[in-house]
Each structure stands twice: as structure tokens, then as C-alpha cells.
Amino acid sequence: MYLIVGLGNPGEEYAHTRHNAGFDTVDLIGDEVGAHYWKTECGALTAKGAYHDIDVLLAKPQSYMNTSGGPVKQLCNAYGVDPDHLVVIHDELDIDPGTIRVKFGGGHAGHNGLRSIIDKMGSRDFSRIRTGIGNPPGKMAVADYVLKQLRTREAEGGIRPVTIQREIQELCSQALNVVRTQEELDRARDGLRRIYDEELPRMTLANHSSTYNRDWKDAIEADFHKRQKKGRR
């Protein structure tokens, strides 16, 4: 069995905040592994499921972020889960929104939920799934930033400007060579139309700083591509 823990804070006032990325992710995983019945045990909300015949226990500690280690330790003891079968999902300031990184072991990097788990488990040897939330803009305090609910576009899966830029560049490199066919040109046209109609409206920035900001630059350039296309019609 694997124990998959999403970190967050209980209560409506914290629902869908950046700091509760772990809770939201575990809810989505529950839909995928058939874990629909949640109950309270060991100071956490838990639900059982299975993934390719592997038993999975999902958990959302209800003791608040800074003391997540207590419920996690109790669940590991109750279900006989060793640290190498523990997966912790948490928010990460130093990773861009929409980006996920996986690592095994390591320190807590200042994350109080991880700090508590490492302390109670007496081990760092567990897997972490780090969900990026980005750094706070300007001089906003970290606490205010992580406890603020996501903007609509972030919550619904906004697309970074650099992602759109790369798609446009890839289409151009494939279809706009010196030697090209009508089929390639049609495919590029359809691809650009999809990007302009579907992805540009969902473009969102991870960095809102008014100083040098690569996100702003990429967003302006992506929009410029669209304006150029309209001007040639």
C-alpha cells in the first residue's frame, strides 16, 4: 500500500488557497483511483482506492499545516506504511505555477508541513510531489500570498506565455521551411488558429512584477503574433 498525503489547512476559509494545493490535488487523484468514500481517522480525512492493482490510501491531515506530521505518523503506524511508500504532495514557492516536480528525500526547504512530517517520522526518505505556486508579487508577504485563493485563470489551468510562444515557434519551424507543401501550410494555419482562439484567452502570468519580467515580455510577443496575423487578412 502507498499512503498519498496532500498537505493543507482544514476549513472553508482556507479552501482552494495556494497553500492547499495538496488537498486539491489529492481530491483529483481520488477521482482517478476510485476513492470516493472519505472518513476521519488518525486526525485526517482518508479514502481508499487502487491504481493498477496497487492499494492506495489518500489522506488530508486535519491538524493544520504546521502539525501535519502527527496524523501522517499515526496513519503510517496504523496501516504499516514505511517511509519509502509515503508520498507527500505540497505547494512550492520556488516553482512556477502549473509546474510539478518530483523528488525523493531531502530537507524541508522551509516548508512547515514537511518539517513536521520529517520530525514525526524521524526520516527524510519519502517521496514529495511539489506543485508550483510561484513567488509572491512585489512586496506581498509570503503568508498573505499562500493563504490567498487562486485567481480564476490559475485555478482553471491558465497557460504560461512561454508555453504559447514555444508552440508558435514549433509550428513555424515545421511548416515554414524554404520547401513546404500546401498540406503543411494548412496544418500550421489550423494550429495557429487553435492557439489564438483557445489558448491566448487562457494566458496567465506567474510573475506580476513591474520590474524586468520575462512573463510580460512573452505575453506581449504572443499577442503581437496574433495582431500581425489579423493585419494580413
Residues 146 and 166 grouped into a single domain: no
Residues 33 and 146 grouped into a single domain: yes
What are the residues whose beta carbons fall under 8 Å from the beta carbon of 22, sequence distance 6 or more? 5, 6, 7, 8, 60, 88, 89, 90, 91, 113, 131
DSSP-assigned beta bridge partners for residue 91: 131
Last residue of a domain, one of 150, 184, 213: 150
Residues 37 and 80 grouped into a single domain: yes
Burial class (CB in 10 A: 0-12, 13-18, 19+), 6: buried
Residues 11 and 76 grouped into a single domain: yes
User: What is the residue-level pLDDT of the chain in tens, covering all 233 positions?
Assistant: 999 999 999 888 888 888 888 998 898 888 888 888 899 999 999 999 998 888 999 999 998 889 999 999 999 999 999 999 999 999 888 888 878 888 898 888 878 899 999 999 999 999 999 888 888 877 778 878 887 766 544 545 566 565 666 666 676 666 666 667 788 778 777 877 777 777 666 666 554 544 445 555 565 565 545 555 555 45
Residues 134 and 174 grouped into a single domain: no
Residues 215 and 145 grouped into a single domain: no
Please tell me the total count of domains within the chain: 2
Last residue of a domain, one of 150, 177, 211: 150
What the block records as the C-alpha cell of 152 is 480564476
Residue 85 φ then ψ, to 5°: -110, 15
Q: Is 19 a catalytic residue?
A: yes
Q: Contact at 8 Å (CB) between 229 and 192? A: yes
Last residue of a domain, one of 116, 150, 184: 150
Domain of residue 218, residue span: 161-231
Within a 13 Å sphere around the CA of 226, how many CA atoms are in the beta-carbon half? 16
Q: Contact at 8 Å (CB) between 29 and 88? A: no
- Could you tell me the CATH number of the domain that includes residue 51? 3.40.50.1470
In this structure, how many other beta carbons lie within 10 angstroms of the beta carbon of residue 58? Answer: 25
Q: Which of 19, 36, 85, 111 is catalytic?
A: 19
Smallest CA-to-CA distance from 79 within 50, 123, 53, 46 is with: 46
